Structure 1
Amino acid sequence: MTYDSGNYEAATARAKDLFGYDELRAEQAARRESKDPVQLGIGVSTFTEMCGLAPSRVLGSLSYGAGGWENAAIRMLPTGKVEVITGTSPHGQGHETAWSQIVADRLGVPFEDVEVLHGDTQVAYKGLDTYGSRSLVVGGEAVVRAADKVIEKAKAFAAHLLEANPDDLEFAGGRYTVKGTDQGVGITDVALATFASHNYPEGLEPGIDAEATFDPDNFSFPHGTHLCAMEVDTETGETRMRTYVCVDDIGNVINPLIVEGQVHGGLVQGIAQALWEEAIFDDNGTLVTGSFVDYTLPTAADTISFVTENTTSPATSNTLGTKGVGEAGTIASTPAVVNAIVDALRPLGIHDIRMPCTPERVWRAIVSAGSHDGAAADAAQPHFHDHAPSNADPGATGEGSAQ
């Protein structure tokens, strides 16, 4: 497999600018010099991901249980409405909106006249579903190809209605016109004419509906740079997120608002893994965080406003030029946050903290570092080993009192 496209340096440079990287490093140095009890850490996370789960031949070589293709169909109704049947199953990603945008743009019909049908095998009986950041990259491309087939099928009927040669027709804005003239007919008018079947070319079946199955030749490879600044109180172990910036390259963007929502959701999920979420079992193997009373699931009130932006390197594996975005925030945010916390505590000789980095777990790491390295402990105020309980176990999880 070969990376399709990307500009890694551009994403990193833009993220540094938005983040104020040099200024934050200067502030970090000043806090370390003054032995401020609240230290500042900067976490860096860059990633390149394999998305758009496909192609079938590659998946077969990996003993995968299914193919990587996706199917779509388009029905042109006599009412002028358009039905799009997709094998992908959205559960909050906005497929209905994006697919409607694609079809409305391709066929030149009003956005509100497009209905996307999915999730019912009696309606959409062919498809491999939604996973691996593949819906738009593979399923969206299948929709594009089905729309192109509709346009091509309708051209023969339009030419017959206009008494013209199909090769003399142009299609734009939902309308077929004879080159160099103002003679034309809309694609929805063609749909109505083929439904009525009063006048259509011999040798053709009445109807311009079409379906397409797309099996890409390669995966898509989105990438990004995520930067996180965390403040860590070395006296209590409390952590506070100061700034989070990410610049992702997901190829061409169909709907910026949907993309921003996908990134925000992914960021919070990844940040939660770094700071809060954990399945805890007692000595008997019983899950003690089996409800949201005991399991910390963050809300918007627990996070900050993120700064998100995109660079654009169109994918080469589909005509839309799109790459997967659903997993970008989740992949990059967890290491960015943990790296920032560890960076803040690096002068104490701390090089790793097991997730989630709860205040107690951070505090215990500080205590442990001070107990084993007096010189490192001198870098923080006060000397934490003086305050540690005599029976403190640096390796204990201690989540019960973390909050």
Structure 2
Amino acid sequence: MLDIPKPPFHRANRLASQKVSEILAIGARAAELKKQGHPVIVLGAGEPDFPTPSNVIEAAHRAALDGQTTYTPLAGTPEMKAAIVEKFRRENGLDYAMNEVIATAGAKQVIFNAFMATLNPGDEVIIPTPFWTTYSAMVDICDGVPVTVTCSGESGFKILPEQLEAAITPQTRWLMLNSPSNPTGAAYSPEELLKLLEVLERHPDVWLLSDEIYEHIVYDDFPAVSPAALSATIRQRTLIVNGVSKAYAMTGWRIGYGAGPADLIAAMTVVQSQSTSNACSIAQAAAIEALTGPQDILTERRDNFQTRRDFVVEALNEIGGLSCRKPEGAFYAFASCEGILGAKTPDGQVLTSDREFCSWILETAHVAMVPGAAFGLSPYFRVSYATSREELEEAMARLATACAELELPA
């Protein structure tokens, strides 16, 4: 066989700062340990452990049998767009026209379309930190500049009005809000949102991207309100991002949707026309049923998540060296391990960071968690409680046992 020289591969400059998600790397290591026979419990998943509702699956089946297997209009079928419009009217008190909504291949594509359609080199996007790291990655890829603003546990991991004001420059194009949040579960009250909107009122060139994917997973009667419903002025420069992945356990169906000014949606549709084209026709039919069919399952599953949240937060706070704020929503607990730093493990290793702590827990207690450093804030770690109560109880017991073996700093 001829020895043909391998041609050089030239990676695009836009990927220079990008790498595979740390969450995926942790998942890969957990899978490797499982292969070796270790009973690993993974608390890193960003998806519900519930099945897709049966009525949704049946709707997809009917659509396939009825021949809904061809291309659809770029921004979604008329039925899909009508379901999105009705959802916003019914649940958020917002009236959108059909040309003000778009259906995409997952909520992530809504964000990517928006940045690709609006960012020029050097344009800035303010991102409260900790944050889902895909936000900054997409800004980078679209030639923008992510401006991260650290939001401490003392502020409930939420950006304060004075922080927002200080972060805005003539180059600022967007503010990103994710409420409830990944990774912290923190959510903004209507009063907190209004104070942030007052800042935006003074800066008419700054638009708001509101990621509301976890809006149905809120606890203790917390009022999940869209900022677009609080200010008619700000609504004119707000893009709402949502989807069926979290509330309806449809992560693999890849259906997201957005709502905003018609000019923005039109520009995003141009981007989509040159990338994925339309979202999957059958998945759109399933999403229509999810949005328009019976909604009682949302309450049932939210209550289940709240029970898990209460258990996990209490268990974490009972472990010496750890502390955890009770989140308002989502299915994550974001706990501090500051009291662990400097501790010595039984084999003599000194744990100096949240990454080292999470790695040690994975290798010894076989519980996979994600360090806060992956989301831009240390020393914390994220626990997803989107798994069974039995696994959560076992994971918390292992974590407590492991931490009890540490020689904590004086």
Higher helix share: 2
Fold similarity call, TM over 0.5: no
Q: Which has the larger radius of gyration?
A: 1
Instruction: Return the TM-score normalized by structure 1.
Output: 0.25
